[in-house]
Amino acid sequence: MTSTALAFLSAGFGAGLAVLGAGLGIGRLAAAALDGTARQPTATGDIRTSMIIAAALIEGVTLFAIVVCVLLAIKA
Amino acid sequence: MTNLLATLALALATTQHSPEPAQHAAPAAEHAQPAAATEHAQPHGAAAPAEHGAVAGEHGESHDGSAEHGGGHGEGKETLSDVMLGHVSDGYEIEFPGFCHGGFSFECEVNLKHVFGDSLVLHFGSTTIDLTPTKHLIMLWLASIVLILAFLVSAKNRGLVPRGLYNFLELLVQFVRDEIAVKNIGKEYADRYVPYLCTAFFFILFVNLFGLIPYAATATGNIGVTVALATFTFIITQYTAIKSMGLGGWLKHLTGGVAVWLWPIMIPVEILGLFTKPFALTIRLFANMVAGHIVIMSLLGLIFALGSPLVAVGSVPMALAIFGLELFVAFVQAYIFTMLSSLFIGAGLAHHGHGEEHEEHAHAASGAGSEHHGSHGSHVAGGSPGHG
């Protein structure tokens, strides 16, 4: 396999793994947020705000990996 | 969701390396699979797409035009990934609909290099610094002008009972001050940093929103812009830390409180740790903005990759949904940047307050700050502007 092919392959794998990580992380976050809302519906607003902030932060980390994958796919 | 589609976008872009975008038998068959799979989730078509359809249609039309343009050149056909990268990256050409080439066209171009020529290219001996404005820079100026105009015009409605646009802007400014600044910095020192935090919030918000307008570009999708914003936060954070701990105290923090013989390891690590936070701010804002646009463009680009207009029936509503997500992400990223900036500033202040004798005041302030937390909690439930 040439280095170009390896670069494309790793870009694809990396993007898939990044999505896996984001899905698991944000899924757990959403589950916890829904649990909390179910236990105390009056705290819905606070929980929703925190959930959005945490989701944006987790997504930010995932996008680090995506940036690396895009670099690989473009420069290869 | 964005990540899933970013993966699809990546797959799409990387298979487009060969110069004939219309003749992709094998990859087209592969892509028909995920396209068909994603067409299953299609409740978005019901949302009134009248005005949005015009926007997306215009977008798609400009793609159509540029794809034809690329095909007509003959020297080297434009691939899908070229179009996508061209839309997202900075350049010297600005496109707009207007009258040129005799008659109305959707793709009048202004090449800024031709407008400015060599007048802004500075030569210092052997180095050249090219200061010609680029597309993203023009977008930054436009966003700043719109921002300044919005605040100046609405300030006329200031009064005991604000009305109109001023009311809405005051809501946002109050949100930044109470929910972001006071909660993280503490009531005592928040007012010093509210101007910077408001500027960061509104500037990033307006620049992000500008990217969603057809023919305009997202300047925060340029890593130079986000690095500059993160640098401002870094400078203010370190200045605050140095002012509150003194230069000696700040340097002592860099050693991390370990024994002297560990300093050669500790100090570089701590210095590196100083830079991870602004780096994360940079990459988070940049990648969020760029990823959204790439996803929209690759969804629309599927139409051209698969070669059939029927794909538009599934592709355009999905692109509309991602457009809505992008709108939301624009607000959220502005909020996250501002909140993290205030968090870092507050962390710098929390160590000693301003000098040792004010420590009790600082603690009382943060105590009052967390009290505000409780009373403002119900506030947030009503109208959080962060929800777009």
What pLDDT digit, counting tens, does each position of B30-63 carry? 443 443 334 343 433 333 333 343 344 444 434 4
Chain A contact present for B291, CB below 8 A? yes
Question: What does pLDDT average to over chain A?
Answer: 91
Please tell me which of the candidates B283, B380, B381 has its beta carbon nearest to residue A67: B283
Chain A contact present for B387, CB below 8 A? yes
B104 falls in which pLDDT band (50, 70, 90)? confident
Chain A contact present for B374, CB below 8 A? no
Whether residue B98 is predicted with pLDDT greater than 80 in this model: the reply is yes
B240, two tokens: 């605050």
Please tell me the pTM assigned to this model.
Answer: 0.74
Secondary structure of residue A1 in the 3-state scheme = coil
B78-92, B259-273, B347-361: range with lowest mean pLDDT: B347-361
The domain spans of chain A are 3-75
Please tell me which of the candidates A43, A49, A60 has its beta carbon nearest to residue B288: A60
d(CA B289, CA B80): 20
What's the rounded mean pLDDT across residues A5-34? 94
Interface of A with B (CB under 8 A): 8, 11-12, 15-16, 18-19, 22-23, 43-46, 48-49, 52-53, 56-57, 59-60, 62-64, 66-67, 69-70, 73-74
B232: Cα separation from own chain's centroid: 16
B164 falls in which pLDDT band (50, 70, 90)? confident
d(CA A22, CA A64): 11
The domain spans of chain B are 94-133, 135-387
Chain A contact present for B384, CB below 8 A? yes
Burial class (CB in 10 A: 0-12, 13-18, 19+), B247: exposed
B223-249 pLDDT tens trace: 999 999 999 999 999 999 999 888 888
Check A46 against B2: CB less than 8 A apart: no
d(CA B232, CA B201): 13
B62-76, B119-133, B196-210, B366-380: range with lowest mean pLDDT: B62-76
d(CA B255, CA B242): 15
B94, two tokens: 């600005």
- Look at residue B258 in the predicted model and tell me its pLDDT: 81
- Look at residue B254 in the predicted model and tell me its pLDDT: 82
Interface test with B, best of A70, A71, A72, A74 (most B CBs within 10 A): A70
Chain A contact present for B313, CB below 8 A? no
B162, two tokens: 């604000």
Q: Are strands B121-124 and B127-130 parallel, antiparallel or unpaired?
A: antiparallel
Q: What is the DSSP string of B280-319?
A: HHHHHHHHHHHHHHHHHHHHHHHHHHH--GGGHHHHHHHH
Q: A3-75 adopts what CATH topology?
A: F1FO ATP Synthase (1.20.20)
